[in-house]
C-alpha cells in the first residue's frame, strides 16, 4: 500500500540532520531547516488513506520512503508503531528514534536526512520536482 506526495526541492536543502528527515507543505525553507528534503508538498499525513494509516500502526510494519528528484532516487526504511497519529496537516517526518508526534510517519529509520544520496540532495537543492512514495508492508 502506497501514498505518493509531490513536492519540490529548494536552494536551502542541505540534508544534514542526523536524526530526522522531513517533507513539508510550507512554501519556504530557511537554512536552519537542515532536515527538510522538499517543500510545497501537495499532501500531508492528515490526507493519507485511513487503511494506509491503520497498516502503519502495526508494530511489525515496515515503512519505506523513496524520494525521486532530478533523475536520482534513494530510499530509507523504518517501522510502524501503534501510536502513530498521521494528523499533521503540514509536515511528514521520518525519525531514527522512537519519538512520536503528529508529524511522525515512521520510527527507527535506517538513516536520517544526512544519509540520503548526495546526488539526490544536490538535485533537491537545485529545486528539482520530487516524488515521495511512502510504502507500508504490514505483516
Given a cut of 90, whether residue 139 has pLDDT beyond it is: no
* Domain 2-137 classification at class level: mainly beta
What is the residue whose three cell numbers read 511522525?
Answer: 104
Domain residue ranges of the chain, discontinuous segments joined by +? 2-137
What is the pLDDT at residue 3? 98
pLDDT tens, residue by residue, 28-83: 999 999 999 999 999 999 999 999 999 999 999 999 999 999 999 999 999 999 99
d(CA 49, CA 40): 20
pLDDT tens, residue by residue, 119-137: 999 999 999 999 999 999 9
Residue 47 per-residue DSSP state: G
Q: Pseudo-torsion of CA 44, 2, 112, 41, nearest 10°?
A: -30
What is the pLDDT at residue 111? 98
Question: Which residues have C-beta within 8 Å of that of residue 118, sequence separation ≥ 6?
Answer: none
Q: Given the DSSP bridges, would you call strands 20-24 and 72-79 parallel, antiparallel or unpaired?
A: unpaired
What is the pLDDT at residue 138? 76
Mean pLDDT confidence for 86-111: 98
pTM of the model: 0.97
Amino acid at each position: 500500500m502506497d501514498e505518493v506526495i509531490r513536492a519540490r526541492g529548494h536552494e536551502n536543502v542541505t540534508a544534514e540532520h542526523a536524526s530526522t528527515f522531513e517533507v513539508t507543505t510550507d512554501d519556504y525553507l530557511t537554512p536552519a531547516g537542515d532536515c527538510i528534503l522538499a517543500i510545497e508538498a501537495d499532501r500531508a499525513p492528515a490526507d493519507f488513506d485511513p487503511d494506509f494509516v491503520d497498516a502503519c500502526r502495526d508494530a511489525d510494519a515496515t515503512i519505506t520512503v523513496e524520494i525521486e528528484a532530478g533523475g536520482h532516487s534513494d530510499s530509507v526504511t523504518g517501522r510502524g508503531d501503534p501510536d502513530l497519529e498521521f494528523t499533521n496537516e503540514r509536515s511528514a517526518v521520518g525519525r531514527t528514534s522512537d519519538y512520536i508526534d503528529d508529524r511522525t510517519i515512521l520510527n527507527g529509520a535506517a538513516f536520517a536526512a544526512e544519509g540520503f544520496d548526495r546526488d539526490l540532495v544536490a538535485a533537491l537543492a537545485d529545486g528539482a520536482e520530487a516524488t515521495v512514495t511512502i510504502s507500508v508492508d504490514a505483516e
